[in-house]
Structures are given as C-alpha cells and as structure tokens.
Structure 1
Amino acid sequence: MDRKWIYYLGLALVSVIWGANFGVSRLAMDTFDPVLFSFLRFGIAVPFFFLILRWKEGSVGIPLRTALQLAAIGLIGITTLEIAVMYSIKYTTLANASLLNVAPWPIFAALFGPLFVRESISPRLIVGGAAAMFGVCFIILGGSEGFNLSSSNMIGNLLAFGVSIIGALFNLATMPLMKQYSALRVSTWYIFFGVLFMFPLTLGSWSKVDWSALTVSHYSAIAYNVLICTVFAFVVWNACMYKIGAARANFFRYVVPAAAVAAGYLFFDESITGWQLAGTVFMAAGLIWISLERKRKVIT
C-alpha cells in the first residue's frame, strides 16, 4: 500500500507548528534578543538530539570528512539562516518578510535541485505549486499590512529574499548525506555545529536579560521552540523531505503563513480577510494536487 500521504501529512503538520511559532516567538522577543533566543532554541535542543540518536541508532559518531560537510551546512543553514530570518523581520514588515521568505523558497529548491539530486519535476508539481504559490500570496497580501516597497524596508526585504535562496540550498545540501546517514543523524550534527558558530554572537546579550523575572510563559515559549519546533519538527521534516523529495516538500512551507494567520486570529484577535480565506483554499488545493501524484521517479 502506498503510504506517501503520511509524509505529506508530516510536512503539513510541521508547517503548522512553525506557523504557530510566529505568535509564540513574538511574545518571547519582548524579553530576549533575537539571536540569543535562536541560540537557546537550538542549543537546548542539541542534547535531546544526541540522546534520541543514541537511543535509536546505538551510536552518534560521524567520519571527519562528513563532520566538515555538516559543519558547513550548520554554519549556513542554522547560524546564518536563523539570524537572517530574525533581522529580516526586524527591518521590514511581517508581510514583506513572509512573502519574500516563503514564496520563492520552493521555486529555488526546484531550480537548484539538479545540483544536488536528480529529481523529476512533473507537470502536476508545476500546476500544484503555482496554485499554492498564488494562494500564499493572497494570504500574505490580503492581510492588513499588505506589501510595502518603502526604501526603509529595503534591507529587510533583501534579507528575507536571501533567506529563501539560502534556505533552499540548505535543504538540498542535506539530501545527498541522507542517502548515507539517517535524517536524525544529519540533523543532529548540523544543528550542533550551527549552535557552536552561533554562540560567540550571543556573548553581549546574556547580561541584558533579567533572568529572575522570567515567567511561566517565557519558559513555555522556550520549551515549545526546543521540543516541538526544533527536535520534533526537524526530525519529521527531514525524514519526510527525504522520502518525497526536496522540491515537493518545500511547497508545503506555504502552510506556514496560513498557520501564522490562524495563530494571530486565535491568540492576538487579529482579523482574517476574505482574500486570506480564498488564498488558503487555493494553497490547500495546490498542495493536495501535488500529494495525489501517483508515481514519482527519483534517480539516485
């Protein structure tokens, strides 16, 4: 029985988790510097990754050559990418950051894919991806902020667009290694290296936090980011992405802004417009169309 729907469901679930995290992180940013909060998220997650890896596979080691590859991936995909995401949000509007980050990402994954893995691009993927992309544009542009091309947002806009390029390359770079090692082992090590490179950038931020004043909500935000958004989400995303291919998997990132809009409605009393509802329908239809593809040929 073809059970690929489980992998698509896993991708959608992770995207919902990441989308809801916009609201959780928004609250945390009032207390923590963005880079420090990213470090706490990934740094606290590292021991959990190694414990799970040891429990599941009986060992945690990797060859030196592979370690060097994963160090480069961690520097790009965790340190650089996460900091760029944080500062793109800081220097432009949330709508701009969401659109320029999320919408082009799957397109770059498809364009750069042949450099890393030989993966077929079918007419169904093109049609479904286009429908999903139009849908996510409606979701983002249909909000109250809209899209702002003001010169004051240019730095943030460029950072957000750069995130989509770096993120696509980061995802694709892990694919060949997942043919040799499990998604869990690959994730564990590139996150470990990413945290190492990120730590020096946090040294000026620790003293700015009033640690004694932290509340249950702060610790809950950290726990959600560590256990759900990082440990659970990265393992599930990478495992599912490897099974169905990077090009198809990354279109499911379009669920992220829809989940963020829903979180804003539920937790911050933000309104949802008709354009956003229509965009959600387009996006869902496109993703369902992609997931119903009967056969996908991947040449390794």
Structure 2
Amino acid sequence: MTSSLSSALHRKDYLVGLTIAISGAILFSTKAIVAKLIYRYHVDAVTLIAFRMLFSLPIFAAIAFWQARQGFPLSWADRGRLVVLGLMGYYLSSFLDFLGLQYITAGLERLILFLTPSFVLLISATFLKRRISGLEWSALLVSYMGIVLVFLHDLKFGGSDVMLGSTMVLGAAISYALYLLQSGQLVTRLGSMRLVSYAMCVSSAACIGQFFVLRPTSMLIQPGAVYWLSLVNAILCTVLPVFMTMIAVQRIGAATASQAGMIGPVSTLFLGAIFLGEPITGWQLAGTVLVVGGMYLLSMKKNT
C-alpha cells in the first residue's frame, strides 16, 4: 500500500514537472509572436528590447540581490566572466534575434533558434576536438534538412529579407551556443539561478544603455498597446519561462525538460497562424518535423 502510494505521488510529481516544462517552452516561444505584434506599431528592435528589459530588470535585480546575500562574494575574475556572458548570451543573442524577426516568420525564427544544441556540438567538435558520433551526425543532417526546407519555402515569398533575417537569427543561435559553452564552470560554482539573474542584469543594462545612446528619449512615449505587449514579453515570455524551466529541471531532470522543450517550434508555428495570420503549409510542417526529430535524436544521445 505504501509502495503504491509512493509510486502515485512520484507519478503526480513527474506529471506536474512535465506540465511546467511544456508550459515554459510554449511561453518562451511566444516571445516571437509578441515581438511581431509590437512591430506592427512601428517600433524598432532597439526600442523593443529596451522595453523588454526595463520591465524584467526589477525582478532579475531583486533575485540577484537575494542571491548575493546568500552566496559567497565573487572574485573580480568571476565578475568579468559574468559581464562577458551577459553581453554574449542575453544581450547580443536577444538583439540579433529581435532584429531578424523583422524580416522572417515567427515559425522560421523558432526553428533556427532550436538548432542551438547542434551549434554547441559543432563548436565543441571544431575547437574542443570533441568526437561526433554517427547518431549525432544523423541528427544534425535531419535537422538541417528541415531548416533548409522551411528556409527555401520562405525565401520564395520573402526574397532577400528572409536571407537577412535568417542570418541574424542564426547569429543569435550561435551567440547563445557560445554562452552555453562558456557558462559551464560558473553554473557549477554559482548555481543556475544566481548565474541567470546576474547575466540578465548585465544584459538589461546593455540593452537599456544602447537605447539611450542610439534613440531619443521621446521614443519612450509609445501607444498603450506597446507597453502592455512589452510587459507580456518581459514577464510571461522572459522571466516566467526562465524559472519554470529551473523548477522543471529540479522535478524531472534536465534531459526530460529539454525534450519537453521540443514543443516550442510546433507551438510557434500554430500561434503564428492564430495571432499573426502566418500560413501553415506542408513544407513548413515537414521542416518542423525534421528539425524536432533531429533534436530529439541528439537529446537521446545525451541521455545515453
């Protein structure tokens, strides 16, 4: 009886963790949809990302302050690494991502970003001499075929803008892959919550500072819808997914949480159709299946 009750509680805990992971992945993917809606008010990427960080900074700053009180003091070397990671992982990556979203569909953007694990693998193989197995090569081939399929479909209708936007989002994915590779040591020492809150504070300062350097302060005056959408972008699409993912990893493990994140590109495809009127074609569905399938193969390799 006790064993049966324990099994039921474990099952319930697993399902709760899985639900949190899936919800977090969908919310994070919704960022592209919200950004597209904000662009309809003739707001540029510099202003969009500044508003996103202005609304999210107080939360990350409060968490960073709380973590600083509980944790050990940082060395100057660690502070320097955190600044570099914040600029690389959240400032540069986010900025390139939002720039690219001006030119490509939300569905294509999410598929390109979803290739980040494959870039981590390729960078590791190139610079760290990590051996890539046959299964991993197969996963890369399948996923890149999916990207090419969707890219060629969108290129047919969007022309050079699709090429420009895809290149920017590709840069965002590579930048975030470099962040992941460089953050390994600090995550082990500081913990994920402390690292993320510090890095997000650095990124916020860079994004907000960039706005005041490149744009007049009059650009802070926007239609009410821009403020509300920016608040959604900051809280529901940035802060919540970060912590939901952490909670999910604690409950069900990093591997399962990562696999649950594969719902992201699929949800973006359908959310784009609902809120943005972006068409769903057979080519896009096929490409999405290939990309998600390739990343699934890659995650299976990491689990073994």
TM range (shorter): 0.7 to 0.9
1:252/1:122 Cα in 2 relative to 1: closer, same or farther (>3 Å)? farther
Within the candidate set 221, 225, 229, 1:210 is matched to 221
195-204 or 106-115, which deviates more: 106-115
Q: Say whether residues 1:44 and 2:55 are aligned partners.
A: yes
Q: Say whether residues 1:177 and 2:186 are aligned partners.
A: yes
CA distance in 2, matches of 1:238, 1:147: 40
The Cα of 1:165 is off from its aligned counterpart by 2.0
CA distance in 1, matches of 2:89, 2:302: 32
Within the candidate set 242, 260, 268, 1:234 is matched to 242
**Superposed CA RMSD:** 4.2
| Matched-pair contact (CA < 8 Å) for 2:35–2:98 | no
Higher helix share: 2
| Matched-pair contact (CA < 8 Å) for 2:93–2:176 | yes
Paired AA for residue 79 in structure 1: Y
Instruction: Map Cα deviations across residues 237-267 of structure 1 (whole Å, 9 max, x no partner).
Output: 578789648xx95x98765443222112222
Secondary structure of the 2:37 match is helix
CA distance in 2, matches of 1:159, 1:294: 28
CA distance in 1, matches of 2:270, 2:92: 28
CA distance in 2, matches of 1:8, 1:273: 29
Specify the alignment match of 1:28 in structure 2. Answer: 38
The Cα of 1:169 is off from its aligned counterpart by 0.4
CA distance in 2, matches of 1:43, 1:109: 30
CA distance in 1, matches of 2:156, 2:24: 26
The Cα of 1:110 is off from its aligned counterpart by 0.5
Specify the alignment match of 1:187 in structure 2. Answer: 196
Paired AA for residue 131 in structure 1: V
| Matched-pair contact (CA < 8 Å) for 2:104–2:162 | yes
CA distance in 1, matches of 2:68, 2:168: 38
1:224/1:118 Cα in 2 relative to 1: closer, same or farther (>3 Å)? farther
Instruction: Map Cα deviations across residues 18-59 of structure 1 (whole Å, 9 max, x no partner).
Output: 332222111112253322221222232232124345667863
Specify the alignment match of 1:109 in structure 2. Answer: 120
Instruction: Map Cα deviations across residues 58-86 of structure 1 (whole Å, 9 max, x no partner).
Output: 63653332111111111222222222222
Specify the alignment match of 1:164 in structure 2. Answer: 173
Q: Say whether residues 1:81 and 2:90 are aligned partners.
A: no
Specify the alignment match of 2:77 in structure 1. Answer: 65
| Matched-pair contact (CA < 8 Å) for 2:46–2:95 | yes
Q: Say whether residues 1:268 and 2:280 are aligned partners.
A: no
| Matched-pair contact (CA < 8 Å) for 1:41–1:225 | yes
1:192/1:117 Cα in 2 relative to 1: closer, same or farther (>3 Å)? farther
Paired AA for residue 201 in structure 2: F
Identity %: 19
1:7/1:132 Cα in 2 relative to 1: closer, same or farther (>3 Å)? farther
Paired AA for residue 159 in structure 1: M
Paired AA for residue 264 in structure 1: G
Which is greater in Rg? Answer: 2
| Matched-pair contact (CA < 8 Å) for 2:82–2:199 | yes
Instruction: Map Cα deviations across residues 215-258 of structure 1 (whole Å, 9 max, x no partner).
Output: 4xx3442232222221122344578789648xx95x98765443
Secondary structure of the 1:180 match is helix
Instruction: Report how many residues are paired.
Output: 287
Unaligned ranges ≥5, structure 2: 1-9
CA distance in 2, matches of 1:71, 1:277: 39
Unaligned ranges ≥5, structure 1: none
TM-score (norm 2): 0.72
CA distance in 2, matches of 1:236, 1:106: 20
| Matched-pair contact (CA < 8 Å) for 1:32–1:209 | no
1:122/1:193 Cα in 2 relative to 1: closer, same or farther (>3 Å)? same
Specify the alignment match of 1:225 in structure 2. Answer: 233
The Cα of 1:157 is off from its aligned counterpart by 4.7
CA distance in 2, matches of 1:193, 1:53: 11
| Matched-pair contact (CA < 8 Å) for 1:33–1:205 | no
